[in-house]
Amino acid sequence: MNRKQIIEQIKSKRSFLCVGLDTDLSKIPAHLLDTEDPIFEFNKAIIDATKDYCVAYKPNNAFYECYGVKGWESLQKTIEYIPENCFIIADAKRGDIGNTSNYYAKTFFETMNCDAVTVAPYMGEDSVKPFLQFENKWVIVLALTSNAGALDFQFTTDTKGEELYKKVLRKTAQWGTPDNMMYVVGATRAEGIGEVRKIVPDHFFLVPGVGAQGGSLEDVANYGWNQDCGLLVNSSRGIIYASNGTDFAEKAGIEAKKIQEEMAKILDQKGF
Amino acid sequence: MNRKQIIEQIKSKRSFLCVGLDTDLSKIPAHLLDTEDPIFEFNKAIIDATKDYCVAYKPNNAFYECYGVKGWESLQKTIEYIPENCFIIADAKRGDIGNTSNYYAKTFFETMNCDAVTVAPYMGEDSVKPFLQFENKWVIVLALTSNAGALDFQFTTDTKGEELYKKVLRKTAQWGTPDNMMYVVGATRAEGIGEVRKIVPDHFFLVPGVGAQGGSLEDVANYGWNQDCGLLVNSSRGIIYASNGTDFAEKAGIEAKKIQEEMAKILDQKGF
């Protein structure tokens, strides 16, 4: 999916919501555990219930890999099930030397047929560039993350007064373009979103941390908005675990719709 | 495998070699491609031919994941096939927010039964700590990598004059101990290895970059040695692709033996 198509989806669905599929066997409704592939059954119902309210899905690989081969099967089936008009993000946080990153890019863009993959920047240019060689595919670079540990290294200020996350933005923006690169910017650091927006005015941001992690949608929109909306705001637990009863999908749909309606208001206010 | 057992293996095998299983269908001998699981068949023969000369194996996940479910099957079978007296490193370069890293830790330590996993430090403490909660399991933090892109961020000097890779060492060393944490230090930066050794005198290093990437074993031993040897030196392509004929395993064994003999000399010189 290319940039133009993402923007069209945001406009037509009146939503910039990404639903995080962090599907955990210990949290899904008990009645699904007897099915052949409980993770896929859960995801299928969640996707059916939320697909009209979101423009993207983001399965986090860790939750699938921890079940080994069986987990990758569930992941692959889930990705195949996601409707064509939804952007698919593999939240995998990969990154290795060039030759190896090339295989990760093939994994997520060819084998798994995702639209985007999250990538950690620590290993520098040759670890990121192989992901940029695929048409209409996206690399989403970790810039400013939503967790407490972000403070350990991302705010380290260099001798020129530049914080590491800003250097990551400035340098990586030279490797890709706003048509094949996005950034992870945590909603828990609202003012940071504004700082990021100054450095990369045109890029889309993937914003985790709204909901369970405590970030505010309004702040995200205030600080992160650009002429193309420029935001994919993720919610995982707040939607997919809204209920752990037989009504889990219905309740997930209700939560997704609530966020979509808030987003529609923002889009209206912005005249988008 | 714990630290004491690693040291015992180094002493008895007279080797601190790690064989990297970066198994690539486009590079393995043609006659294996007709088998049911060519990657596993290749790895099995490589392991049989090299197991007396190395103390560790390091499959790099990218090379398996790019074949999806089938690739994970090959990886799992490979890990199960590695002899008990060899240390198994999942070179996966993971790292995510705490709750998610916990699932990656389960993936590699419980589901896959590896001894160690490589982890990227960008997301800080809560992304690394979940990997440290497993007895006799290891996290190997990326410190100074062997690739060109290492120069982009790892050498960024902060206002106190400390380079990022040194800050990573100093901080992460407070989260783990030399009994559950190692560091990736590239052989292509021999003097850097000496700098790293000053900051973390007691930790083991996983050193990629000898062989195809151009690093020298002698330099690595000169700069990186500590009282327990403290080194696991990896070679991948130089060993596993020594031949692409039917003699591939035999040739891999010969290459591994050559490195083991160099290592035995170093161990003798050091009186280890």
Average pLDDT over residues B4-29: 97
**Burial (CB count <10 Å: 0-12, 13-18, 19+), residue B98:** middle
Confidence of residue B115 (pLDDT cuts 50, 70, 90): very high
Closest listed residue to residue A183, CA positions, set A215, A149, A224:
A224
| Residue A248 identity | F
Separation in Å, CA of B135 to nearest CA in chain A: 18
Q: Which two tokens stand for residue B34?
A: 């007709």
Q: Which two tokens stand for residue A260?
A: 């979509």
Q: What is the rounded distance in angstroms from the CA atom of residue B272 to the CA atom of residue A272?
A: 70
At residue B46, the pLDDT reads 98
Q: What is the CATH number of the domain that holds A193?
A: 3.20.20.70
The reply to whether residue B62 touches residue A101, judged by beta carbons under 8 angstroms, is yes
At residue A191, the pLDDT reads 84
Task: Using the Cα atoms of residue B127, residue A101, residue B136 and residue B114 in order, give the sign of their dihedral.
Answer: positive
CB contacts, 8 Å: A147 with chain B: 97-98, 123-124, 126-127
Q: Residue B212: is its pLDDT beyond 80? A: no
At residue B231, the pLDDT reads 98
DSSP chain B: --HHHHHHHHHHHT--EEEEE---TTTS-GGGTTSS-HHHHHHHHHHHHHTTT-SEEEEBTHHHHTTHHHHHHHHHHHHHHS-TTSEEEEEEEE--SHHHHHHHHHIIIIIS--SEEEE--TT-HHHHGGGGGSTT-EEEEEEE-SSTTHHHHTT-BBTTS-BHHHHHHHHHHHHS-TTTEEEEE-TT-HHHHHHHHHH-TTSEEEE--BSTT-B-HHHHHHHH-BTTB-EEEEESHHHHTS-SSTTHHHHHHHHHHHHHHHHHHHHHHTT-
At residue A78, the pLDDT reads 98
Query: Mean pLDDT, 10 residues at a time, over chain A (272 residues)?
Result: 98 98 96 97 98 98 97 98 98 96 98 98 97 98 95 96 97 98 91 95 94 84 97 96 97 98 98 96
Q: What is the rounded distance in angstroms from the CA atom of residue B19 to the CA atom of residue B257?
A: 11
At residue B210, the pLDDT reads 85
Could you tell me the CA-to-CA distances from A253 to A52, A72, B199 in Å, in that order? 9, 25, 52
At residue A213, the pLDDT reads 73
Average pLDDT over residues B141-170: 96
For B96, which of A67, A93, A111 is closest by C-beta distance?
Answer: A93
At residue A214, the pLDDT reads 78
Q: What is the rounded distance in angstroms from the CA atom of residue A36 to the CA atom of residue A44?
A: 13
Q: Residue B127: is its pLDDT beyond 80? A: yes
Q: What is the rounded distance in angstroms from the CA atom of residue B213 to the CA atom of residue B7?
A: 26
For residue range A219-244, list pLDDT tens digits in order: 999 999 999 999 999 999 999 999 99
CB pairs under 8 A between A and B: 184
Give the number of other Cβ atoms within 10 Å of residue B140's Cβ.
26
At residue B205, the pLDDT reads 98
| Residue B109 identity | F
Q: What is the rounded distance in angstroms from the CA atom of residue B252 to the CA atom of residue B10?
A: 20
Average pLDDT over residues B73-93: 98
For B149, which of A60, A127, A167 is closest by C-beta distance?
Answer: A127
The reply to whether residue B156 touches residue A151, judged by beta carbons under 8 angstroms, is no
At residue A5, the pLDDT reads 98
Q: Give the total number of structural domains in chain B.
A: 1
Average pLDDT over residues B144-151: 94
Confidence of residue B206 (pLDDT cuts 50, 70, 90): very high
Q: What are phi and psi of B37, to 5 degrees?
A: -135, 80
Q: What is the rounded distance in angstroms from the CA atom of residue A103 to the CA atom of residue B64?
A: 9
Separation in Å, CA of A268 to nearest CA in chain B: 33
The reply to whether residue A142 touches residue B123, judged by beta carbons under 8 angstroms, is yes
At residue A252, the pLDDT reads 98
**Residue that has been written with the tokens 């889930």 in this structure:** A78
Mean pLDDT of chain B: 96
Q: Residue B6: is its pLDDT beyond 90? A: yes
Judge contact between A138 and A182, C-beta under 8 A.
yes
Interface ipTM: 0.96
Q: What is the rounded distance in angstroms from the CA atom of residue A271 to the CA atom of residue B253?
A: 67
Active site residue A137: no
Residues of B involved in catalysis: 93
Residues near B215 by beta carbon (within 8 Å), at least 6 away in sequence: B146, B186, B187, B188, B190, B207, B209
The reply to whether residue B152 touches residue A112, judged by beta carbons under 8 angstroms, is no
Residues near A152 by beta carbon (within 8 Å), at least 6 away in sequence: B121, B124, B125, B171
At residue B191, the pLDDT reads 84
**What range defines the domain where residue B206 resides?**
3-269
| DSSP secondary structure code for residue A82 in this structure | S
